[in-house]
Amino acid sequence: MLTDLLTQDMIQVSAQEMDWQEAIKQCATPLLTNGAIEARYVTAMIAKVEEFGPFINIGPQIAMPHARPDEGVNHLGMSLLKLDHQVELLDDPKHPVSLFICLAAVDNKAHLAALSCLAKLLAKKEIVTQIMQAKTPAQIAKIIQEGEEK
């Protein structure tokens, strides 16, 4: 399932320095481009973090911004942004992030299926390390594909 969602065109690697809001916007760009989400979904993802805190920080260096389906999701999608320079979620040094994975799900069933596949992949520390060291979207797509096959 992940290889269907996180295709090479949904993956970005950036050496640009940015803040956490810019990182969420950048991560969501492929989802906007392919019509999976509307611009208001990006605003909602940022607003959720501002309202509820760093709950999207799902593991060391990893954040999964998301919002409710009715806040601008058109179809299931996922995008990934790997940063060469980490950002501090909510400008808090306790929450450094260099890997953002945006999830856009139309319902709880799709949401849980996508999260389950992602959780299995991210539970493998060697795969996370490989993703963090990757330099191109093609390398990350290959790591995800190989990780899903294991």
Q: Is the pLDDT of residue 141 over 90?
A: yes
Domains: count for the chain: 1
Q: Are strands 11-14 and 77-88 parallel, antiparallel or unpaired?
A: parallel
Verdict on whether the full-model pTM lies above 0.85:
yes
Burial class of residue 13 in the structure, from the number of CB atoms within 10 Å of its CB (0-12 exposed, 13-18 middle, 19+ buried):
middle
Question: φ, ψ for residue 49 (rounded to 5)?
Answer: -65, -45
110: tokens are: 């799709």
At 71, is the pLDDT very low, low, confident or very high (cuts 50, 70, 90)? very high
The helix-helix angle for 108-122 and 137-149 (nearest 10°) equals 90
Question: What would the pLDDT profile of 4-49 be if each residue is shown by its tens digit?
Answer: 889 999 999 999 999 999 999 999 999 999 999 999 999 999 999 9
Give the 3-state secondary structure of residue 55: coil
In the chain, the amino acid numbered 140 is I
For residues 15 and 97, give the distance between their C-alpha atoms in angstroms, rounded to a whole number: 14
Domain interval for residue 140: 2-149
The pLDDT > 70 percentage for the chain reads: 98
Based on the residue annotation, tell me whether 66 is a catalytic residue of this protein.
yes
Q: Supply the CATH number for residue 129's domain.
A: 3.40.930.10
For residues 133 and 99, the answer to whether their CB atoms sit within 8 Å is: no
Find the range with the poorest average confidence among 5-19, 56-70, 76-90, 112-126: 112-126
Are 101 and 118 within 8 A, CB to CB?
yes
| 3-state SS, residue 1 | coil
For 60, residues 6+ apart whose C-beta sits below 8 A from its C-beta are none
Amino acid, single-letter form, for residue 57: N
